[in-house]
Chain A
Amino acid sequence: MRQTPLIDAHRALSATLVPFGGWEMPVMYTDIRAEHEAVRTRAGLFDISHMGRVRIQGPDADAVVGHATTLDVADLEIGRTRYALICNEAGGVVDDILVSREPDGLLLVVNAGNREQDLEVLQASVGGRDANIIDESERLAMIAVQGPTSPDALAAVGLPIATDLKYYRFASVPSGYGDVLVSRTGYTGEIGFELLVEAGEVCRLWSDVLETGAAFGVRPCGLGARDTLRLEAGMPLHGHEIGPEVNPYEAGLDFAVRSELPHIGSEALARIHADGPRRRLIGVTVEGRRIPREESVVVLEGREVGRVCSGTLSPTLGVNIATALVDADAAQAETFTIQIRRHEASATRTPLPFYRRRKEQESDGTS
């Protein structure tokens, strides 16, 4: 199993370590609910070095990404980031990624478990084109600081966040840890930042953010809280809401499929778009104390209409929430029954996201 450069830091904090996407990662340090709460009210620090970081450079870098993903990067300006999908020929989602425009090329951040596969797709998309694919996953590490006090916590370690760094924008910031790429992105639904830093500097940055950030309520957070935070915020997790058998229209990711370029899966996606998807991703709030789990059966009028993708007790809302992929003709129903092991629970359709940060409205770069 792979380990990030922060493995010793996690052990020193007595983290509970679990396998995730081929990596040994902290699922929690003390307790998931407290870590979740810290991100909603103060700030949390996450090791996300397991995610893949890939640079694509050269004259044809745009064309490679245009072929491999659902994103046409022609109008992507330097310092901006967009959400994109890598699809298979059938239109299924191989991975969901972030694409950022740097001065000398494109930077892709991909899911840990899909990195090798994504690299193969990208390499195949190079073909005769003039572009280099550079896997930076080892050389660079990545951490996230998420939550309302995250700008203060970063300023305190010498990483001031410019006021014009809006959602889905990034900047290279010179600091005591070398040049740190600070990106206003995240997976929590809060104000927050993801930082790319040289692997040799990340341990010092991590411990400084924890130490200095204590004044701002920063605490280390594991993948457990990351999952409950992203689910409340209605963000998909590859392998749950999306996967090779789920297309973007089913998952409500239409906004990520707007490229006019021919790309892998574009013909299938055009057909699916014209015919309408057969399933839809919905959110539900579930009664009772049993938590709906992945693969729990969703029933409407005595008929199985779908399965749960993710479910949790929402720490912020105090109720059980779940996402489910259901037959398109059932997706407008208001109430369902969910089979949770040997029991049945009543579920009410709830618009996604379950939780929205109360703050000024911002353009999110994803649309």
Chain B
Amino acid sequence: MARPDGYRYLKTHEWARLDGEHCWIGISDHAVGHLSDLVFLDLPECGQDIMQNEPFGEIESVKAVSDLYAPMTGEVVERNDRLIEELDMLKRDPWNDAWMLKVRMEKPSEFENLLEDGSYQRMIDSEDH
């Protein structure tokens, strides 16, 4: 299944999409597919700083809890509180309404460190084998 254009990924399945001086952050369809029975999402408050490759939150399912890693460094300016209340949004469409954070980027060039769709898919394929 093709992923939408403009997204880049961490190996740990978080995505970032640029929007001017901001970026949007969420998790990929592949990650969502592996997280059944979601029970809890913990996201930082607005105003908090997050750092690329460092944990910024947690997502918990009945079977396990996983850290969420920041694809970009910056300050959280918006947090998707609706998603926290309605985790099933992730199952429907992880790319748009189910974004997690909007971040004012400190180092936009970090985007280049992230995986493009093709490399991300190859990484998933090699993991699944």
Contacts and interface: CB of A to CB of B under 8 A. Distances in A.
A, B assembled together? yes
Interface of A: 16, 27-28, 31-33, 224, 228, 289-291, 293, 312-313, 341
A290 B59 CA distance: 10
19 contacts: A27-B63, A28-B36, A28-B37, A31-B37, A32-B36, A32-B37, A32-B62, A33-B62, A224-B62, A224-B63, A289-B40, A290-B58, A290-B60, A290-B65, A291-B40, A291-B60, A291-B65, A312-B62, A313-B39
Contact of B37 (A33, A289, A290, A341): A33
A313 B36 CA distance: 13
A32 B63 contact: yes
Interface string B29-67: 000000011011010000000000000001010110100
Interface string B60-80: 101101000000000000000
A290 B62 contact: no
Contacts of B40: 289-291
Interface string B73-97: 0000000000000000000000000
A126 B14 CA distance: 58
State the main secondary structure of chain A at its contact with B.
mixed
Given A32-B63, A290-B40, 9 more contacts: A27-B63, A28-B37, A32-B62, A224-B63, A290-B58, A291-B39, A291-B40, A291-B65, A341-B65
Contacts of A312: 62
A16 B60 contact: no
Nearest to B40: A289
B39 A31 contact: no
A341 to B, nearest CB: 7
B36 A341 contact: no
A341 B58 CA distance: 10
Nearest to A340: B65
A31 B60 contact: no
Nearest to A36: B62
Interface string B8-46: 000000000000000000000000000011011010000
B39 A289 contact: yes
B60 A228 contact: no
Given A290-B60, A291-B60, A31 B36 contact: yes
Contacts of A27: 63
Contacts of A32: 36-37, 62-63
Contacts of A31: 36-37
**A-B pairs with lowest CB-CB distance, top 8:** A289-B40, A32-B37, A32-B62, A313-B39, A31-B37, A33-B37, A31-B36, A291-B60
A324 to B, nearest CB: 18
Contacts of A228: 62
A242 to B, nearest CB: 21
Contacts of A16: 36
A289 B62 CA distance: 11
Contacts of B60: 289-291
A224 B63 CA distance: 8
A289 B36 CA distance: 16
A239 to B, nearest CB: 16
A27 B39 CA distance: 17
A242 B36 CA distance: 28
A342 to B, nearest CB: 9
A31 B35 CA distance: 10
B62 A293 contact: no
A291 B39 CA distance: 9
B69 to A, nearest CB: 15
Nearest to B41: A289
Contacts of A341: 58, 65
Contacts of B62: 32-33, 224, 228, 291, 312-313
